[in-house]
Each structure stands twice: as structure tokens, then as C-alpha cells.
């Protein structure tokens, strides 16, 4: 008898779903720089969007107390009620948003919050509209859920922001989601209240569209005027506001993201999460209550530090011949247009054909890890995360300049 297993490669044991999926480019680049570092190469990794600061003391203390108080059991799927009350208060205090605790679901990072949403909202062929550039995992999650990514193009000259006219032009009968981040990963752009109002002017005409506003960089906003689209009366009953502790509180490893959503959608996300992860970590949830309280001094200090670093990197990038740079108003990224380097040759005589190759060249020869813009939907740019000390950033910018200016 034919041995079927002999013919089976491990590759075709995998589902089509995962085969069609791209791995996270940000995590992949971070893994590559770790590999080079393990070989003894001194790589500066500006690839991962992760604060280099330690988690503030009062939050760590709350976690230690939670361990001692035996918070070691399964929690309610959407999170402890007192945590959801704290989030409800935070939404009111900081964003003037009204979400009751029943409308709040906490998850294993905002990444899971977003994945829950895609799974709950999208049927095969439904359309999710996003301004490009967008954060790397949005597109992968939308496609995994069967949805179709509809892009609105922007560029550095429009500060990577989309207009109401552009949005209206791509809306169809299949439009289900409008998703954006402000401050934006990867561009650092911040939508003003007036710009959001213009988008609302369009969205209010299309009640089938759920608006997902990713505000995870809320606290890293150099304009000091964070605006939430959920504040607008005309659309507030179908805005999902996504946030989390990773960026503003330097808690990437703790894994807590959350959302305020219409009740029907919060219930659906709870249902799906109940089958996937049950809930996020009990200790993290107790620590989150401390993080979301009124003591925000450590967060403000981190923001001030990011502002200094931004100024430093902005100055250095502007000195690199051929790079087009803007002045991002939030998050901790630069997203320069490096298209003038495509088609140039390396000192070894190899032609750089696209942004992926340019980023690999910067990694292998310049020993600086950045992320190609194609992962975020724009192939003219690359992303630099400046969540590093000024000393490290100065050296990284020196290397980047030398590496780029050596291309001819
Ligand atoms: N949204 C954006 C825009 C991000 O940059 C990130 C990066 N971590 C996330 C969501 C997910 O964050 P986390 O899962 O760490 O809460
Ligand atoms: N959000 C961060 C980034 O964009 C972390 C990496 C990730 O979660 O993919 O780099």
C-alpha cells in the first residue's frame, strides 16, 4: 500500500490560513538583530517599537502585592470588574469618552484586542479601510479573518494623513471597518480634532462601518492635544477605542491591552476571547489598576525623554543627503522617505533594488536594524524606532549616515 505519510512534507501539513500569512516584520527584524548580536556583531536595534525604560515602581509594587495576596486564579474573561471600572474612569478623565465597565474588555496586549475585533467583525470579503502607512499587524489580522484590506494612500508630503475625500472615495457596500492609529505607528503623525471632525463628516453617513481608533501612543504626543474620534456625537455609538499599557507605561512584556466598544461588540469579543485565552494575566491586571490611576508622573517623564530624543534624531536625519524627513508629532518613530537610494550601488558593487534590500544592507553593513516601509504599506520609506538612549541614538545615526552616503 502507498505510504501517504512518506509523501507528506511538513509544509503541507499546515493550514492554508497560516501559509498565506506573513510573519510580523517588526518581530522578524528584532530576531535578525539578536542573531547578529549572538555572533558578536555590535548591532544597534532600532527595529522594535518598545520603550527602553523600566516599568514605574508603583506599578511593579502593585504586582508584587498581587502575588502575595494570591491573585492566582482565572479572572473574569473581560478582566476584573475593578480594573474595568478604572479603565472606564480613565476614558472619562483623559479622553472624555463614556464607556461603562460592561463595554470594556481587557486582553493579552492591544494586539489581541485588535485580533478579537477582526474575528468578530469580518466575514469573507468584507472590507477594512486603512490609511497607509498602517501598523504591521493590522493587515495580517484582517486577512486572517477573511477580510480585504482597502488602502488609502498618503505620503510624507501630506504628513502621512488621509483626508475625508480620500476616505469617501473608497467606501463601498462591503466596507465594515475604518481603522487607524493616532499617534500613528509607523509615521508618528497625529490627527487633530479638526481633521477627525472632517473624517466624521463622511463616516456619519455610513452606519455599517465600525470605527476602530488605536490610541496606544496617546501618552507620547508632543502636541499635548490628544483627540479621540469617539468624542464625536455623530459616530460615538460605533467607535471602538483601543489602548494598552505597553507604550505609555513601558510594560510591553506584561501584556495588557484594552478597548471600550459598543456593548454588542464587547460581548462578542468576550465570547471569542473566552475560547482563545480566557483572559489576560491576573497579576498584570492588578498592576494595571495602579498604572491607570492618577499618578502619571513617570509617564510624563518618559514623554519628555522621548521629546529630547526626537529632536536629536530629527537633526541627525536631516544631515543625511538624500533622505526626506518630516517632524512626527507623536509615538517614537521616524519614517523617512529613502526612495532616492533605490537603484544605487553598494561599495561592493551590488545594486539596491528595493526598500527591503536597503534595510538589509543597513543591517549587514551599517549594523543598525530598521524596518522596511513595505511592512507598513509604503515601499518608499523605512521606520526608525528612537526608543533608545541619546548616546546609542547618536552612534546609530552616525552609522546610518555613513552607510547611506557610501551608496553611489
Ligand atoms: N497598536 C499599535 C499601533 C502598536 O504599535 C502596537 C505595538 N505594540 C500595538 C497595537 C500592540 O501593542 P501590545 O500588544 O503590546 O499592547
Ligand atoms: N508594536 C511594536 C512595533 O511596531 C512591537 C512589535 C510588534 O508587536 O509587532 O514595533
Task: Kindly report the pTM of this predicted structure.
Answer: 0.95
CB-CB contact of 74 with 278 (8 Å): yes
Q: What is the CB < 6 Å shell around ligand 1?
A: 49, 109-111, 135, 181, 185, 214, 216, 244, 246, 252, 257
The DSSP bridge partners found for residue 239 are 211
Write down the pLDDT at residue 271.
98
Beta-carbon contacts of 372 under 8 Å, excluding residues fewer than 6 positions away, are 25, 355, 356, 358, 359, 379, 382, 383
Q: Determine the 3-state secondary structure of 296 from DSSP.
A: coil
CB-CB contact of 190 with 213 (8 Å): no
DSSP state for residue 406 in the 8-state scheme? T
The ligand placed nearest to the CA atom of residue 216 is 1
Counting atoms of ligand 1 from 1, which one is nearest the CA of 135?
3
Residue 245 CA, ligand 2 centroid: distance in Å: 13
How far is the C-alpha of 288 from the C-alpha of 63, rounded, in Å?
9
CB-CB contact of 257 with 279 (8 Å): no
pLDDT in tens, the chain (408 residues): 555 555 567 878 999 999 999 888 888 888 888 899 999 999 999 999 999 999 999 999 999 999 999 999 999 999 999 999 999 999 999 999 999 999 999 999 999 999 999 999 999 999 999 999 999 999 999 999 999 999 999 999 999 999 999 999 999 999 999 999 999 999 999 999 999 999 999 999 999 999 999 999 999 999 988 999 999 999 999 999 999 999 999 999 999 999 999 999 999 999 999 999 999 999 999 999 999 999 999 999 999 999 999 999 999 999 999 999 999 999 999 999 999 999 999 999 999 999 999 999 999 999 999 999 999 999 999 999 999 999 999 999 999 999 999 999
Counting atoms of ligand 2 from 1, which one is nearest the CA of 185?
4
Beta-carbon contacts of 65 under 8 Å, excluding residues fewer than 6 positions away, are 286
Counting atoms of ligand 2 from 1, which one is nearest the CA of 111?
8
How far is the C-alpha of 62 from the C-alpha of 69, rounded, in Å?
10
Beta-carbon contacts of 91 under 8 Å, excluding residues fewer than 6 positions away, are 97, 98, 99, 241, 260
Q: What is the CB < 6 Å shell around ligand 2?
A: 24, 26-27, 48-50, 111, 136-137, 185
**Please, what is the Cα angle at 51 between 301 and 245, to 5 degrees?**
80
**Please, what is the Cα angle at 14 between 9 and 109, to 5 degrees?**
145
Write down the pLDDT at residue 23.
86
Q: Hey, what's the cell of 78?
A: 473581560
Write down the pLDDT at residue 116.
98
From 27, 45, 215, mutation site for ligand 2 pocket: most ligand atoms within 8 A of C-beta: 27
Residue 350 CA, ligand 2 centroid: distance in Å: 30
| Half-sphere exposure at residue 337, Cβ-oriented, CA atoms within 13 angstroms | 13
Write down the pLDDT at residue 25.
85
Counting atoms of ligand 2 from 1, which one is nearest the CA of 186?
4
Residue 25 CA, ligand 2 centroid: distance in Å: 9
Count of all residues that appear for the chain in the document: 408
| Burial class of residue 308 in the structure, from the number of CB atoms within 10 Å of its CB (0-12 exposed, 13-18 middle, 19+ buried) | exposed
Q: Determine the 3-state secondary structure of 357 from DSSP.
A: helix
Write down the pLDDT at residue 83.
98
Residue 26 CA, ligand 2 centroid: distance in Å: 6
Where do the domains of the chain lie, and which CATH numbers do they carry? Answer: 2-53+298-405 (3.90.1150.10), 59-291 (3.40.640.10)
Pairing of strands 371-372, 104-107: unpaired
Amino acid at each position: 500500500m502507498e505510504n501517504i505519510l512518506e509523501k507528506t512534507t511538513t509544509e503541507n501539513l499546515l493550514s492554508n490560513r497560516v501559509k498565506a500569512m506573513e510573519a510580523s516584520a517588526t518581530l522578524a527584524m528584532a530576531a535578525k538583530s539578536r542573531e547578529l548580536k549572538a555572533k558578536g556583531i555590535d548591532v544597534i536595534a532600532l527595529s522594535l517599537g518598545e520603550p527602553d525604560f523600566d516599568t514605574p515602581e508603583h506599578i511593579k509594587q502593585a504586582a508584587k502585592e498581587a502575588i502575595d495576596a494570591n491573585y492566582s486564579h482565572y479572572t473574569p474573561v473581560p478582566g476584573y470588574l475593578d480594573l474595568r471600572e478604572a479603565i472606564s474612569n480613565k476614558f472619562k478623565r483623559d479622553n472624555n469618552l463614556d464607556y461603562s465597565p460592561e463595554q470594556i474588555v481587557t486582553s493579552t496586549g492591544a494586539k489581541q484586542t485588535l485580533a478579537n475585533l477582526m474575528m468578530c467583525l469580518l466575514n469573507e470579503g468584507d472590507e477594512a479601510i486603512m490609511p497607509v502607512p498602517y501598523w504591521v499587524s493590522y493587515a495580517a489580522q484582517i486577512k486572517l479573518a477573511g477580510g480585504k484590506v482597502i488602502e488609502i494612500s498618503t505620503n510624507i508630503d501630506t504628513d502621512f494623513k488621509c483626508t475625508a475625500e480620500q476616505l469617501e472615495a473608497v467606501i463601498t457596500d462591503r466596507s465594515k471597518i475604518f481603522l487607524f492609529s493616532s499617534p500613528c505607528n509607523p509615521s508618528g503623525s497625529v490627527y487633530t480634532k479638526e481633521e477627525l471632525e472632517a473624517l466624521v463628516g463622511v463616516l456619519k453617513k455610513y452606519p455599517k462601518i465600525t470605527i476602530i481608533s488605536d490610541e496606544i501612543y496617546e501618552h507620547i504626543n508632543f502636541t499635548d492635544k490628544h483627540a479621540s474620534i469617539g468624542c464625536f456625537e455623530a459616530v460615538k455609538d460605533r467607535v471602538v477605542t483601543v489602548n494598552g499599557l505597553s507604550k505609555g507605561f513601558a510594560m510591553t512584556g506584561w501584556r495588557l491591552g484594552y478597548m471600550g466598544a459598543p456593548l454588542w461588540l464587547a460581548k462578542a469579543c468576550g465570547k471569542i476571547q473566552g475560547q482563545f485565552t480566557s483572559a489576560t494575566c491576573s497579576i498584570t491586571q492588578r498592576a494595571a489598576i495602579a498604572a491607570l490611576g492618577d499618578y502619571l508622573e513617570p509617564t510624563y517623564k518618559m514623554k519628555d525623554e522621548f521629546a529630547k530624543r526626537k529632536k536629536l534624531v530629527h537633526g541627525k536625519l536631516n544631515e543625511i543627503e538624500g533622505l526626506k524627513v518630516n517632524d512626527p508629532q507623536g509615538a517614537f518613530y521616524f519614517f523617512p522617505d529613502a526612495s532616492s537610494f533605490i537603484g544605487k550601488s553598494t561599495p561592493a558593487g551590488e545594486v539596491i533594488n528595493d526598500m527591503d534590500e536597503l534595510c538589509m544592507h543597513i543591517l549587514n553593513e551599517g549594523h543598525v536594524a530598521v524596518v522596511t516601509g513595505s511592512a507598513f504599506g509604503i515601499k518608499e520609506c523605512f521606520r526608525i524606532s528612537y526608543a533608545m538612549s541619546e548616546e546609542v541614538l547618536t552612534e546609530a545615526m552616525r552609522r546610518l549616515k555613513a552607510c547611506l552616503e557610501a551608496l553611489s
